[in-house]
Amino acid sequence: MLDKLTDRLSGVIKKIRGWGSINEKNIQDALREVRLALLEADVNYKVVKRFIDEVSKEAIGEKVLKSLTPAQVFTKIVYDNLVQLLGGRARPINVSPGQFFRVLLVGLQGSGKTTTVVKMGKYLKENYHVNPLIVAADIYRPAAVKQLELLSSRIGLEVYYREGLNPVKIAEEAASYARKNNFSGLIVDTAGRLEIDDEMMNELVMIKKAIKPDEILLVADAATGQAAVSIAQGFDEKLGITGIILSRMDSDARGGAALSMAYITGKQIRFIGTGEKIADFDLFYPDRIAQRILNMGDILTLVEKVQKDIDLEEAKKLEKKLKKNKFDLEDFLQQIKKIRKMGPIEELLEMIPGFSGKLKFKIDERELKKAEAIINSMTPEERANYKIINGSRRKRIAMGSGTTVFDVNRLLNNFQQMKKMMKKMGKGGKLRSGDFSSLLGGI
């Protein structure tokens, strides 16, 4: 999401860095381009005006014009104001181990609310070490309860639902059930509507009175458009929301309107949904999002992803193997699994400073699955020593993996290239630009 905004803003910054000198006219021209970029990304016009006014106030003055590094100072001003626009700082959810919590999720129909309930349940379970009860209070949408039960069962969470009861009673009884059965708290899924209406809001107000939630979070589709702001204002006026969750941040829509919500409503964006998987759910960091929008990368998130999915002891063992050039196909298979677990490779590369928009080759996730299937069809001996894989073995491997001999040959050739590159790195050699794409192509 926001790729076009990133391209436009990073282009402006690049242009400024290329200027021999900087003056008030240059800055005004740059700010005009920034304004257009924000408006084209669907950022609310009031937000754009405030942003440009603040940047202009700081940029057109001695701070930039008399600086020895004016481009860097201007970039810092844009970055700081972008962080403030997005909410200033990350604000974790109000959940403490040992203290019973109640989280109420609200939103329009189709905003991804039910999936977000489960994503939040997994997030709290893993990051706060709590055991939340999932409450199915959406009794109107066909199969809503079944969807909640199916998704929750995958991550070991229990769903509370009582047929024949209204949503208020379900939420009320769920709170009592959760306390009696030693749950840490509850996350309530509520019914959405196609538009904000009195009946819907009155029901939510009654649920709020019944369970007295610690958090009331509005789930909003990041691709909603300008209507996102008025939706947030409507829910806030009736319920007093404590924050916003942006779903579908992986969408290719412009998305700027959703990022206007924090400024217009004064309510922090707390979390973002970054994909279809239950694990694709993260705390919203204004500074990291601002870095990515300005093509500065997001190294902290990348490091966190790697630390979460890679065991340090395993990494040390792998390092020793690489140094001794003993990296085999079994090791290769384990690395493929780890990479797939961390998410799309393109997403990981986008977190590297200056890499946004520079990926000149497409990494097909299906190739990862195919490579995994091919190696799984090999014997332990073949994985340990790829050189014994002759013509007849290649045919057997292809048949067992549902691929072709050509696919097997390509994987083995790429694996050999990887070993050569790793040997070069182990001896302190440098990779050429073409080697990087070959390395990923081998995966």
pLDDT at 295 over 80: no
- Intrachain domains 101-284 and 302-442 with the same fold: no
For the chain, the domains span 3-85, 101-284, 302-442
Q: Counting Cβ atoms within 10 Å, is residue 368 exposed (0-12), middle (13-18) or buried (19+)?
A: middle
Instruction: Give the pLDDT of residue 440.
Output: 45
Q: What's the farthest any 2 CA atoms get from each other in the chain?
A: 75
Answer with the residue of higher pLDDT: 46 or 97.
46
- Give the mean pLDDT of the chain: 81
The residues near 96 (Cβ < 8 Å, ≥ 6 apart) are 128
Instruction: Give the pLDDT of residue 391.
Output: 92
pLDDT at 364 over 50: yes
Best CA proximity match to 222, nearest among 122, 143, 147, 116: 116
Rounded distance, CA 141 to CA 191, Å? 7
Mean pLDDT value across residues 296-301: 52
Tokens of 278: 């239950």
CATH code, 302-442: 1.10.260.30
Quickly state the pLDDT bin for 359 (edges 50, 70, 90).
very low
Give the pLDDT confidence of 185-242 residue by residue, as tens digits: 999 999 987 777 788 889 999 999 999 999 999 998 877 777 778 888 889 999 999 9
Residue with tokens 């097997």: 408
**Does 2.60.40.1170 match the CATH number of domain 101-284?**
no
What percent of the chain has pLDDT above 70? 77
Per-residue DSSP letter, 243 = E
Most confidently predicted of 21-35, 88-102, 148-162: 148-162
For every residue of 400-437, DSSP letters joined together read HHT--HHHHHHHHHHHHHHHHHHHHHHTT----HHHHH
Mean pLDDT value across residues 408-425: 80
Rounded distance, CA 265 to CA 268, Å? 8
pLDDT at 327 over 80: no
Most confidently predicted of 226-230, 279-283, 337-341, 421-425: 279-283
Best CA proximity match to 242, nearest among 93, 361, 107: 93
Can you say how many angstroms the Cα of residue 192 is from the centroid of all Cα atoms in its chain? 24
Give the pLDDT confidence of 145-187 residue by residue, as tens digits: 999 999 999 999 999 999 999 999 999 999 999 999 999 999 9
Give the pLDDT confidence of 252-263 residue by residue, as tens digits: 556 677 678 888
pLDDT at 409 over 80: yes
Rounded distance, CA 89 to CA 76, Å? 16
Can you say how many angstroms the Cα of residue 420 is from the centroid of all Cα atoms in its chain? 34
Most confidently predicted of 311-315, 390-394, 410-414: 390-394
Rounded distance, CA 348 to CA 63, Å? 35
Best CA proximity match to 237, nearest among 272, 264, 214, 213: 264
Quickly state the pLDDT bin for 434 (edges 50, 70, 90).
very low
- Contact at 8 Å (CB) between 244 and 91? no
Question: In sequence order, what E strands does 99-242 have?
Answer: 101-106, 132-137, 159-160, 185-190, 215-221
pLDDT at 317 over 70: no
Task: Report the DSSP pairing between strands 269-273 and 281-283.
Answer: antiparallel
Rounded distance, CA 85 to CA 222, Å? 16
Backbone angles phi, psi at 362, to 5 degrees: -95, 130
Instruction: Give the pLDDT of residue 389.
Output: 93
Whole-model pTM: value is 0.68
Answer with the residue of higher pLDDT: 269 or 328.
269
Tokens of 436: 């990087």
Residue count (the chain): 443
Instruction: Give the pLDDT of residue 94.
Output: 79
Stretch among 149-158, 274-283, 293-302 having the lowest mean pLDDT: 293-302
Rounded distance, CA 347 to CA 302, Å? 9
In CATH terms, the fold of domain 3-85 is Four Helix Bundle (Hemerythrin (Met), subunit A) (1.20.120)
Best CA proximity match to 80, nearest among 291, 257, 297, 295: 291
